[in-house]
A and B are shown apart, each in its own frame.
Chain A
Amino acid sequence: MVKILLLYISLFSAPLLGQVTLQKQLELANNLFEDSLFFDAITEYKRLRYFDRAKEFDFISNFNIGLAYKAGAKLDDAARYFVSADLATSIKSEKYLAQTELVKVNILRKTTTTAFKLIDQMETSFPNKIDELKYWRGWVFMFDDNWEAASIQFSRIDTSHSLKLLSDRVQNDKYSVILAKGLSYIVPGAGQIYTGNYLSGVLSLAWNLATGYWTVSAITDNRVFDALMVGNLLFLRFYNGNVDNAEKFAIENNLKVSNEALLYLQKYYRGIKP
């Protein structure tokens, strides 16, 4: 009787080994992932997903495929798999992990509107993670080039948060576009000088003075046609050009300041990054 039972068990327990196989497959994929062999790791996670009919490893495989794609800068693919990972689980902590990664991917690909929406939803679903979500909202603001809002977000976590200080510094280093334009309206060339483009500022001032003088001199000599011609074709061209240039220089410089800050974060920031 016992022999029959043992034989029966040995025959029918074979499929149970499938569980062991999938577990081993997960280990293989994990090892490849840990060795930064992301292409192969993705293949093996996909193999695991395909043969895991019970979808027992669905979350971990999707999540790690997402991470591997993210490591390879394939952000759209990564986002797709983090969404799948989120849908594959009902465990709250896993959902939080997947959604957080989705936020990070959206930060990296600068789809900040989506990132903000996701954080809004997460604040409702995960009220105990508010501080962490504030942190990621701060990052979204930084990538959205809104350093003032980023500073406010980080100060809500800690008033001397290193990222708050960095955001403040960037905000201070940036030029006011309105001020640059305003200065140029009042004194031609002043906007360029304010943004550090001294030669352009001086040249602009000289052209505006010369053409302005010709225009005024034509008016005082009652040469109306000359005044209109020189005023419209030369003076206004240089005057408007001076204002446009001031705006352009301010925007260019601000972009440079922002990019340098983001580069600094990428290279030297030691905290949690997207």
Chain B
Amino acid sequence: MKFNRRAFIGTAAAAASMVAPMVRAQGKPRVVVIGGGAGGATAARYIAKDSKGEIDVTLIEPTRTYYTCFFSNLYIGGFRDLQSIAHTYATLASEYGINVVHDYATGVDRDAKTVALAGGGRVSYDRLIISPGIDFIDGAVPGWDVSAQDVMPHAYKAGTQTALLKSQIEAMPQGGTYVMVAPPNPYRCPPGPYERISMVAHVLKEKNPTAKIIIADPKAKFSKQALFEEGWQKHYGGMIERIGPDFGGENVSVRPDTMEVDVDGEVIKADVVNVIPAQKAGHICEAASLTEGNWAPVDGHTMQSRLDENIHVLGDATNQGDMPKSGFSANSQAKVAAMAVRGALTGSRVFPAKFSNTCWSLISTDDGIKVGASYAATDEKIAKTDGFISATGEDAALRKATYEESIGWYEGITSDMFG
């Protein structure tokens, strides 16, 4: 984590300036970004960097320390420590002049073009960018709601939840049982639950080799399935059991008070239950009436909301077409939105939107795999143009190189987000 005195002052000063509501720089167009993750931080940084001071950028993000969801599975597996996935907004404030406001955005007045903050006050915008990530659908897993997350963690927003899940796994009794309730499509990070299973197995194989891992899965197929199943057989043979929809994997309820999971009438007594519920756009999208169904529809040419041309929505929260919900996708979409916003506000050149995504996953030590694709905007959606995936049976050198590449990518994207 990068942190220095000068940067700290930058953040503090920026936060202090927001105490008085409706302060605005005279004459400069104003962009407000809600959410400081892969979409929001990237968009804020690119607009501030490329407009060279012509646009006033405010970033609203509740947490002072941001933990990336990507690589949080590697923390569970013992390949990274928590500090290595922690980032602050200090450089965005000090080097890029972004007003970083640590507060919750509670609502958007689309007519007045203002964002309401939980701490009181409003921030006005000419263009608003919303990149809030996901929230969970209430009642998606009967017996579970957010109040149960301290007993049955989701660990699908990184930070304390991830740390809790890791400590629960490490405290399992010998021969104990870990159950994951996997989410239905669409959800954040398609390979994420299965990389997590790999990391849990990696830990248990060392510390608790008679433990069992059960996945209750409502999906018939999942991302990189052949690659994961090959790897599980190779590294963790016999430890992992997946119950798909054929065997009731879509009919699951949980009882947090007794640590039981009911899979289609069969009750499993578990030591750790990792519930990853069905998902929807982060709450602010719904509060701003930008959703249709569970997600916010956007125009892929500019990432503008189809319901409000002054608002761009990025990342997991969107319904955009073929791109998976991933940090890489959000980062890619942010650059298209940043270009479109600068074009609209300062008349800078606008180029055709290009998108790409790659998702790396780690199966075991030095056994990395990847899947990726490129995309272009059509009037209907963001459409896939080309793609690739790791092959089964690849040799160890290539898998190791793929893992090392993923570490390089982590350094690249986090520099791209946080400066």
Please indicate whether A and B come from the same complex rather than being unrelated chains: no
